[in-house]
Amino acid sequence: MLILSRKIGETIHVGDNVKIVINRISGNRVTVGIDAPDQVRILRGEVMDLGELTLEIEATDLVDHELLSGTH
């Protein structure tokens, strides 16, 4: 993991087409702006974790349904 220190207004570039800008720092919160092409999916970590949990639950439900219905 790369760890960087940034000040308000400073940027971080990821690849050729993603730019992260530090907009505001207030206490222990940092507000960032992300400039990226529309096709780049950007999610907060907790949203990503929730999505993975949902996929796991759906996969478990599908396996349970197949076991109960005999369509395995």
Q: Give the pLDDT confidence of 16-66 residue by residue, as tens digits.
A: 999 999 999 999 999 999 999 999 988 887 776 665 656 555 555 555 555
Determine the length of the chain.
72
CB 21 within 8 A of CB 30: no
pTM, full prediction: 0.63
All structural domains of the chain with their residue ranges: 10-61
Neighbouring C-beta atoms of residue 21, cutoff 10 Å: 15
CB 23 within 8 A of CB 32: yes
User: Which pLDDT score is estimated for 51?
Assistant: 59
